[in-house]
Structure 1
């Protein structure tokens, strides 16, 4: 604890960014959890698996003061097998009144399974591309989860959508799954030109605005999005938005961040959203160019407390920096590469959460990032169980899928631990390679895909790391015992686990060594077996040993103790000759059993290990001061020797 009020004030100030984010995270999690409820209540439609969607032209007619929609949805699709009919997902309260294919009306039926089943005039053979147009209308029912919402703000009418991931069928005929992304879309939104207060309506959707056309009292706004997109990330909103932009320089290829905000919030929003440019620049430098730089990024205000990362335009309930960072991060991790199943939701949410933490590191500094890590680890270890990766049973629970403790926070800290394990250069290169992998870019990924890319990129075997920290549950607790003799510090590291699914967590364990005169050394112990012994060379008197003082490791209930019982340089073990050029001979009491011999250099690095032998060959080792450690049945014995 800090002893002075000034230090307390400083510490509080440094935590503001982290506290802001963790408070925002609750809203993010709640919004994303609620928006996903429709998926839990309706499984993926197996009847839509016989075709690939290539293109949609979405033509919507809406009036923000009326809870209804009508439209024409033209779909280009390629047959994955010979097919005589095609099925779209569409809520049964939406009324289809016509299906046309090249001017010919096709027969169709709607059923209580929320399916639109269309009979094709002839068999469409495997690999053949065709199209048709569905004309429909109705009053979308959101089932309480806001896939289509008509309401007001400050008395002004607004309509907005939020379809993650299976709410799209509530307001347009589509194929909604986590398998088939649509190659590109055109969206035409026709509305009254003015609201009841004679204020202009402004329409928002994915991609780049192409045009606005006014015919009589109506306005049609055209947006075009030219990148693969799942149905749940297509969105529209219309109200009396005020519109303003921030330009991103993007290394000489500028694009706009277009903000659509309520007039009553314009002044505060203009101040809050400026930081988006800095965050965009940061993500671009760390990972890659914004995936949709040829179009736009933007924010559209809507009626939820959290946000939703619709491709190229995040819908925002507020404009806190933490929310801005989280939703922008999803444009890379969640939109460009989308989790391929609910079991892999951390590839979306854990990644976006960690990138939000990186923004704190970049904009606020290491102390604030440390505070963020401390709060994140505290959340993770508030319960003893739970894995980042979900089981089949887990995917039936909305609270488990969108667990802030596991999918968000533990997923984020797993990435941080991976970064510390690999080093910054290798970690960020691996993340860049993941985003650039052709089979994953603008498509879907599962956890094994991410592991394979990181292993290929870094040359590291990461199987044990991911088994411990992602696929299995819990966290470690550590006991550190230390003692000093001269300039040699011995550390013994023991570990217990909070969940039986992991027998031992392999990890780099951060330790800080403090001297009596203010000296400080940070070391990372490569902990590979339980009760492992480490030697460190220090040129000062050690006063205290701290365990992971900067919160780089998921752990809890750690203890550090000073011990002397098993550290003795004065036992009756003799080494000769000393100095030596090659062999050393060992004499010991007959009653002493030596199980192993380890040789360390003056940096505390293990150079040689062997079972008991009365002599050890040092020929292959470099010259200098060496430490010989003997493991007996009941103690550790250390000796010095000089190698010439």
Structure 2
């Protein structure tokens, strides 16, 4: 069974707003004597063409946030105030560039300390620096903004972005929700390091990715506190999170010395979270060196979010997690967080591996084998949703997190295991995340890597048939035999 996650809906409004912003960018940034050109208002992702932006590469986000949902006993009109300092490198001569931001009011933009002109239309913040930016130049954009952040909602009622429940507030970004709380280049292709400082009301805690640096009382008598977190390894923005609430914080270390920070919402049980060190130890044996400097979890009140998410170093769970869900989200630290899909069409590389990790856990702990899981799924009817589309070719945004991506993705990996044999497949499970650590990867990168482990031409041919039948062909494969 896949972990409890919500389906994602297509966002026609997002695409339309992006198209409008692209026109604004091109039309508003002309002028004589300009050598640079505007960066694209989208990276042409196969499923989300308007997400992300072209012309620059973000190196670091420094986010300072002030969260005050009530001021003087009244409902705050602008409970979130933020300042984003974004260090980037121009990848072309730039006369203008875009950032993704939705639903918040921008009050100031500077580039390298100089005021910049800007337009904010829909989800696109178009910035025109005073002087054009030469290709290769490192520059800092500072955006000050405020407002009442909220969720992005699809037609089916699924939500991401800034979510609030009885137990507090959490920001979840997959695939595009991070634009609801900070401006950025919100596509998985542009990974960056992060520093986050969040000032929150008395009695509240702010929990984010990476490692806690400081917890400082803010000057004054209101009891507000600023929490600082650092993520020194590159992170896709959809994996960034911020949870605010009266969480119970527990800091510990695994037997190997890895710091673990867990946050549990009031009234919630930690479930099987005490098994996280065991899961981490098993994962290291299966997948190789843990790719980050800390681990942990955020356990939400169930009314805050109805799904788990592999937020980097610190996955988020909707209530008390069981060990299967912990295994899934922990595996994502290698597959999805460190090795991040290059496009959203490649997301099976994340979800297929995490699902297969659950099968391996059961197999290694006297449960059903991975072959048992494969056989059970292959026995389903040919018109079942599992066979609606091939895992490497989700047809639209609504299909991004459906069974073919999770379950058929895992079945494809099992076929690779049967073709390569257990020993070479075990080497693949460690070698693949080591080869692409802290990078992006495409499906073609994975198939090439798997083929590099083939001992002979017959094995490579069997893998080629596996890609054709299990990874890219429509419908249920006629045979469950490997390489068929």
- TM > 0.5 fold call: yes
Q: CA deviation at 1:376?
A: 3.3
1:204-243 CA distance string (max 9 Å, x none): 1110000000023221000000111111111101000011
Is residue 2:92 matched to residue 1:122?
no
Which 10-residue stretch deviates more, 413-422 or 133-142? 413-422
- Write out per-residue CA displacement over residues 155-177 of structure 1, whole angstroms, 9 at most, x where no aligned residue: xxx11111112111122111111
Q: How does 1:402-413 map to 2 (within 5 A)?
A: 402-404=401-403, 406-413=404-411
Cα shift at 1:304: 2.3
The answer for the alignment partner of 1:170 in structure 2 is 180
Query: What corresponds to 1:51 in structure 2?
Result: 56
In the alignment, is residue 263 of structure 1 matched against residue 246 of structure 2? no
Match of 2:294 in 1: 295
Deviation of 1:246 (Å): 4.7
| Pairing partner for 2:100 from 89, 102, 116 | 89
Task: Report SS of the residue matched to 1:258.
Answer: strand
- Of 140, 151, 167, the residue aligned with 2:165 is 151
- Find the counterpart in structure 2 of residue 338 from structure 1: 340
Who is 1:348 aligned against?
350
State the secondary structure of the residue aligned to 1:469. Answer: helix
Where do residues 107-118 of structure 1 align in structure 2 (5 Å cutoff)? Answer: 107-112=117-122, 114-118=123-127
The farther-off stretch of 335-344 and 119-128 is 335-344
Match of 1:544 in 2: none
Q: Distance in 2 between matches of 1:104 and 1:78?
A: 17
Q: Which residue of 2 aligns with 1:546?
A: none
How far did 1:381 drift? 4.9
CA gap 1:475/1:117 in 2 versus in 1, 3 angstroms: closer
SS of equivalent residue, structure 2 residue 214: strand
SS at match of 1:430: helix
Identify the match of residue 223 of structure 1 among 199, 214, 229: 229
Other-structure match for 2:28 = none
CA distances 1:297-330 after superposition (whole Å, capped 9, x unpaired): 3334252232011101111103111211111111
Between structures 1 and 2, the one with greater strand share: 1
Measure the CA separation in 1 of the matches of 2:272 and 2:3. 20
Q: Is residue 342–residue 390 contact of structure 1 (8 Å, CA) maintained in 2?
A: no
SS of the equivalent of 2:416 reads helix
**Superimposed CA distance per residue, residues 330-351 of structure 1 (whole angstroms, 9 cap, x where no aligned partner):** 1111111112223322111111
- Cα pair distance change 1:353/1:467, threshold 3 Å: same
Q: 1:274 to 1:368 in 2, by over 3 A?
A: farther
Runs of 4+ in structure 1 deviating by more than 6 angstroms, as ranges, are none
In 2, Cα distance between the equivalents of 1:298 and 1:385?
33
Choose which of 97, 101, 115 in structure 2 pairs with 1:105.
115
Structure-2 change in CA distance of 1:358 and 1:248 (3 Å): same
In structure 1, runs of 5+ residues without a counterpart are 1-21, 195-199, 477-496, 498-504, 509-526, 529-644
Q: Determine whether 1:188 maps to 2:197.
A: yes
Q: Within 1, Cα distance between the matches of 2:469 and 2:475?
A: 9
1:272 corresponding residue in structure 2: 272
Q: TM-score, normalised by structure 2?
A: 0.82
CA distance in 1, matches of 2:387, 2:409: 14
- Match of 2:431, SS state, is helix
2:79 pairs with one of 63, 68, 92: 68
Point out where structure 2 has 5 or more consecutive residues left out of the alignment: 16-47, 71-75, 154-158
Relative to 1, partners in 2 of residues 1:333 and 1:89: Cα closer, same or farther, differing over 3 Å? same
* Cα distance between partner residues in 1 of 2:251 and 2:97: 42
Partner Cα separation in structure 1 for residue 260 and residue 371 of structure 2: 30
Q: Which residue is 1:79 aligned to?
A: 90
Q: Alpha-carbon deviation of 1:132? A: 2.1
**Contact 1:465-1:506 within 8 A present in 2 as well:** no
Rounded Cα–Cα distance in structure 2 between residues aligned with 1:469 and 1:81: 39
Report deviation, 1:373: 4.1
CA distance in 1 between counterparts of 2:427 and 2:346 reads 22
Deviation at 1:430, TM superposition (A): 1.8
Shift of residue 390 of structure 1?
4.5
Q: 2:4 aligned with 1:27, yes or no?
A: yes
Q: 1:472 maps to what in 2?
A: 473
Aligned residue for 2:235, secondary structure, equals coil
1:362-400 per-position Cα deviation (integer Å, ceiling 9, x unaligned): 22x154666544543345756394443344xx43241x2
Change beyond 3 A, Cα 1:370–1:275: farther
Q: Pick closer, same or farther for the CA change 1:162–1:46 going to 2, 3 Å.
A: closer
1:77 aligns to what SS in structure 2? strand
Q: Distance in 1 between matches of 2:362 and 2:374?
A: 10
**Equivalent residue in structure 1 for 2:210, among 195, 204, 207:** 207
Q: Answer yes or no: is the 8 Å Cα contact 2:10–2:397 preserved in 1.
A: no
1:416 aligns with 2:414: yes
Deviation at 1:45, TM superposition (A): 3.2
Larger radius of gyration: 1
The SS at the match of 1:88 is strand
Q: For residue 446 of structure 2, what is the aligned residue in structure 1? A: 450
Aligned residues: 429
Could you report, residue by residue, the CA deviation over 1:471-499 in whole angstroms, capped at 9, with x for unpaired residues?
113445xxxxxxxxxxxxxxxxxxxx3xx
Equivalence for 1:401: 400
2:31 corresponds in structure 1 to: none
| Map 1:550-589 → 2, pairs under 5 A | none
Quote how far apart the aligned CAs of 1:102 are. 4.5
2: distance between equivalents of 1:240 and 1:272? 21
- The residue that corresponds to 2:244 in the other structure is 238
